[in-house]
Amino acid sequence: MPEPLNKQSYSLVDFFEEDDYSESETYNEYTKLTRMNVARISHRVEQIKSDPAMLAMMARSWKSYPGSTVTPLPPFRAPTVGFAETVLRRRSVSSLGRDFVGEAITAEQLGGTLVMAYGPTSKIESRTGDVQHLRATTSAGALFPTEIYVLAFNVTGIEPGLYHYRPIEHSLELIRSGDLRAQFAGLSSYQGLCLTSSVALVLTSVLKRTMSKYQHRGYRFAMYDCGALTQSLYLSGTAMGLDTCALGGIYDDEVAAFLGVNPVDEPVQLGFLLGPRGAEMGTEKQQ
């Protein structure tokens, strides 16, 4: 009689090793830095750094919606919670075995979350006289390919609708007004979380903003940037007294159409949900 399988001796990888990941592996191969391509990439970087006009363009790393109605976010007031406590409190709502509590958050909480995650922290003047804004989250080459779209469902002081975040001005540009909660929830495999959240953020990547400088390697850099921003959103949202949850279960191309962006030039990367803090931590379940 065969011995029962001791699963403690294996990892999850061992059970699914026959899966075909060749397309993902091809991406990994094409985006490697090698001794063969480093000279080409370095030449492109130096070409940009030596051209004042290109440096000026590089300093303008954000989209805008000319003619849109602009809603300024409240001035930022730093929360009193310390960094260590924020790190210890950080959770995904999905790990707590519940949805969001379904109540409103304030414009101050939304604004504080956004500015601490992606807002300007300082600025420097280049040799061309252009201003380069430094931001709260790191970005390869200070190119900031990630854009943040804000779906306000239940925010005190902000009309429901779809907005684009302007980090330098700390404001929201209106794309479409109205209650879009049910429509957005229909684009996700986690409808309960979406329907009870107060805000849904959608992160996209303007890939050529980074790839123009770093070529294929820039694709990886754009992914790194999105990941860094996600962690910043977790920490800043937690510090502002909010529940938080990254949302990977969204239908990419349908969300892109909902936002009105090109899914090739500006692919959707991730959703991120916010709501008022609910039940105390400590009831996590393994996903």
DSSP per-residue string spanning 181-209:
HHHHHTTBS-HHHHHH-SEEEEEEE-HHH
Q: Would residue 12 count as lying in a domain?
A: no
Q: How far apart are CA 165 and CA 201, in angstroms?
A: 10
DSSP 119: S
Three-class DSSP category at 123:
strand
Three-class DSSP category at 146:
strand
Q: Would residue 86 count as lying in a domain?
A: yes
CB 259 within 8 A of CB 204: yes
Q: Would residue 5 count as lying in a domain?
A: no
Amino acid 131: pLDDT: 84
pLDDT-based confidence at 2, cuts 50/70/90? low
**Window from 51-55, 211-215, 234-238, 267-271 with minimum mean pLDDT:** 51-55
pLDDT-based confidence at 284, cuts 50/70/90? very low
Global confidence as pTM:
0.92
Q: How far apart are CA 116 and CA 134, in angstroms?
A: 12
Secondary structure element (H or E) that encloses residue 245, with its range: strand 242-247
Radius of gyration of the chain (CA): 21
pLDDT at 285 over 70: no
Q: How far apart are CA 275 and CA 213, in angstroms?
A: 37
Q: Which of 162, 178, 153 is nearest to 100 (CA)?
A: 153
pLDDT-based confidence at 54, cuts 50/70/90? confident
Tell whether the torsion through CA atoms of 40, 265, 228 and 250 is positive or negative: negative
Q: Would residue 175 count as lying in a domain?
A: yes
Amino acid 1: pLDDT: 59
Q: Would residue 18 count as lying in a domain?
A: no
Q: Would residue 10 count as lying in a domain?
A: no
Q: Would residue 161 count as lying in a domain?
A: yes
Total domains in the fold of the chain: 1
DSSP 167: T
List the structure tokens of 273. 């949900």
- 192: containing domain: 23-276
**Window from 77-81, 84-88, 228-232, 278-282 with minimum mean pLDDT:** 278-282
pLDDT digits (tens, 9 = 90+) for 98-114: 999 999 999 999 999 99
Dihedral Cα 108, 112, 114, 116, nearest 10 deg: 170
pLDDT-based confidence at 89, cuts 50/70/90? very high
Secondary structure element (H or E) that encloses residue 226, with its range: helix 217-239
CATH number at residue 120: 3.40.109.10
pLDDT digits (tens, 9 = 90+) for 136-177: 999 999 999 999 999 999 999 999 999 999 999 999 999 999
Neighbours of 216 (CB within 10 A): 16
Q: How far apart are CA 104 and CA 185, in angstroms?
A: 17
Q: Which of 218, 245, 233 is nearest to 118 (CA)?
A: 233
Q: Would residue 7 count as lying in a domain?
A: no
Three-class DSSP category at 87:
helix
